[in-house]
Amino acid sequence: MNSIGKQVLSALKSEISEIDYQRYIKQLTFNDVESKSNLAIFNAPNPLIANWIRTKFSEKMAHLFEIKTGIKPTISIIVQSGKNIPSSPAVIAAPVERASGSLLNPSYTFQNFVVGGSNNFAFIAAKNVSEKPGVVYNPLFIYGGVGLGKTHLMQSVGNVMLAQGKTVIYTSVEQFLNDFSRHLSNRTMDRFKDKYRKCDLLLIDDIQFLSGKNQIQEEFFHTFEALRNENKQIIITSDKHPKKIGGLEERLKSRFEWGLVADIQPPELETKIEIIKKKCEINRVKLDREVINYVATIIENNTREIEGILSKLNAYSQLMGVDITIEFTRNVLKEQMAEKRSNITTDLIMDTVAKELNVKSSEIRSKSRNSNIVYARRIAIYLSRSLTPNSMPQLAQYFGMKDHTAVSHTMKKIQELMKNDEDFRIKVEELSNKVSMVTSE
Ligand code: ADP
Ligand code: MG
């Protein structure tokens, strides 16, 4: 017979995402021997996973027990000592209790972070900070667009320190503000100060939301000063450089630059490919190279899209019992692309191609035989023919070519190249998707 713990875990499976289940819940084992009706004990392989499950799922788990037994137990997630634990010994030895209270995603680690030219600087800075917190760069300020890995990087430092048994607080401006208001109205400000000024590492995500909130800026300023005076590490993220955050006190702006300001740029295609591979590995999704490359051309800059796409592909393929082939992928993601494709014009294609390939739009339409320009022109023609309703004679006229046979010749040439040269095909697909993205903005 299945133990009640197992029943709860399988009930939980149907309530949460497949990814959450595979990654976290599946790693739990129910402790039959020590559990009681009002205390359900589960073993987790390491404190990071234990902490995450405790924060995210324990309430749901207690509820599922209540449905099955009529009693709502306390859920205790403990770290199992002993064999087959993949994490490092330091992780295993860390006291579990210290981990509570901070909400870190255990998969946001340095090992899971793909380093490329676009994020190299921020990565090294974060790595250094994790090795010498409070000493090298304090604060570390990481800024960049949405989905570029800021939260991932800052939490990687958090996970390193958490595993060493340090106190780590991860918070958003909103949470900090709520906490502040609650303690203020409860007259427990000393506890608020204790919490935020006595931690070893304070992670504040998306600090741009401090903008215009004066009272909390004041409080944050004092927290900042207290931590820095004690050489406690602070890491801050933002969507822009401190100087560019409006509605922020000057003294805060200047302090944000006291340590190190590191930016993250949108990833290059190669980095996107590596990130997809990494996400596949973590989520145990198997994709072949062609599919990975195709997905890389679809996502623009926001890496967050990757997990959505992976789980979509996974879900569809399981539902239909088929492998994730390139045709399958194109089909599943077709709608996503089609939506973006409705109002593409030849002008837009030319501007995008010109910009991406570093030539001038006017050169594309000229008669120049310069090889870069010929290359750009051919791609622009190919994309115009594939993505717009224009006929070959119309395109011939637009691109200043003799007649439609010249266009048809170009089309054949490009198709042949795409068939034989994978790098070239990826490049063209990427451009094609870039054009589509521009219209969807
Ligand atoms: P941000 O905070 O900058 O908006 P996140 O840190 O939330 O971005 O990243 C969005 C998603 O993309 C996360 O799942 C994260 O793990 C992933 N990601 C972003 N950059 C990388 C990278 N270089 N390597 C691995 N995963 C990444
Ligand atoms: Mg973030």
**CATH code, 21:** 3.30.300.180
Report the separation in Å between the CA atom of 285 and the middle of ligand 1, taken as the mean of its atom positions: 18
User: Does 108 map to a domain?
Assistant: no
Q: Give the residue among 352, 334, 274, 266 at the shortest CA–CA distance from 298.
A: 334
Residue 62 and residue 20 share a domain: yes
Q: How far apart are CA 162 and CA 399, in angstroms?
A: 60
Q: How far is CA 221 from the centre of its chain?
A: 29
pLDDT of residue 110: 97
The reply to whether 354 and 432 lie within a common domain is yes
Query: Which of 212, 240, 264 corresponds to the end of one domain?
Result: 264
**Strands 39-44 and 74-79: what pairing?**
parallel
Note if the pTM is more than 0.85.
no
Mean predicted lDDT score pLDDT of the chain: 86
pLDDT at 87 over 50: no
Question: Is 91 a member of any domain?
Answer: no
Within-domain flag for 86: no
Closest of 384, 417, 418 to residue 294, by C-alpha:
418
The confidence band for 341, taking pLDDT boundaries of 50, 70 and 90, is: low
Domain final residue, candidates 233, 264, 295: 264
Find the ligand nearest to 207 CA: 2
**Higher per-residue pLDDT: 192 or 87:** 192
CA distance 249 to 414: 55
Q: Are residues 245 and 209 in the same domain?
A: yes
Decide: 414 and 428 in contact? Cβ < 8 Å: yes
Indicate if 11 and 131 belong to the same structural domain. no
CA 364, 367, 372, 374 torsion-angle sign:
positive
The answer to whether residues 71 and 204 belong to one domain is no
Q: Write the CA distances from 368 to 271, 362, 402, 410, 414, integer angstroms.
A: 34, 10, 14, 15, 19
Contact 437, 340 (CB under 8 A): yes
99 in a structural domain: no
Report if residue 114 sits inside a domain. Answer: no
133 Cα–ligand 2 center, Å: 21
Q: Are residues 147 and 258 in the same domain?
A: yes
* 89 belongs to a structural domain: no
Residue bearing the CA closest to ligand 1, atom 9: 149
Task: Tell me, yes or no, whether 169 and 246 share the same domain.
Answer: yes
Q: Is 113 domain-assigned?
A: no
Residue nearest to atom 13 of ligand 1 (CA): 304
273 plus 258 within the same structural domain = no
Q: State in Å: Cα 173 to ligand 1 middle.
A: 20
Residue 8's identity, in one-letter code, is V
Of 281, 306, 340, which one is at a domain's C-terminal end? 340
Give the ligand 1 atom nearest the CA of 146.
4
Residue 250 shares a structural domain with residue 310: no
- Specify if 23 maps to a domain: yes
Query: What pLDDT band is residue 88 in, cutting at 50, 70 and 90?
Result: very low
Least confident residue range of 76-85, 95-104, 127-136: 95-104
108 alpha carbon, closest ligand = 1
Q: Which two tokens stand for residue 387?
A: 């993505």
Category of 184 on φ-ψ map: left (φ > 0), alpha (ψ -120 to 50) or beta: alpha
pLDDT band at 319 (very low <50, low <70, confident <90, very high): confident
122 — phi, psi (to 5°)? -65, -35
Q: What percent of the chain has pLDDT over 90?
A: 49
Tell me the per-residue pLDDT of 366-391, one tens digit each, with 9 for 90 and over. 888 999 999 999 999 999 988 887 88
Number of domains observed in the structure of the chain: 4
Q: Which pLDDT tens digit goes with each residue over 247-305? A: 999 999 999 999 999 999 999 999 999 999 999 988 888 899 999 999 998 887 788 88
pLDDT band at 409 (very low <50, low <70, confident <90, very high): very high
Q: What is the pLDDT of residue 85?
A: 34
pLDDT at 91 over 90: no
Q: Are residues 41 and 126 in the same domain?
A: no
Which atom of ligand 1 approaches the CA of 206 most closely?
A: 2
Residues 166 and 260 grouped into a single domain:
yes
Among 118, 119, 124, 152, say which to mutate for ligand 1: greatest number of ligand atoms within 8 Å of CB.
152
Same domain membership, residue 402 and residue 358: yes
CATH number of the domain enclosing 312:
1.10.8.60
Domain containing 156 equals: 120-264
CA 126–ligand 1 middle distance (angstroms): 14
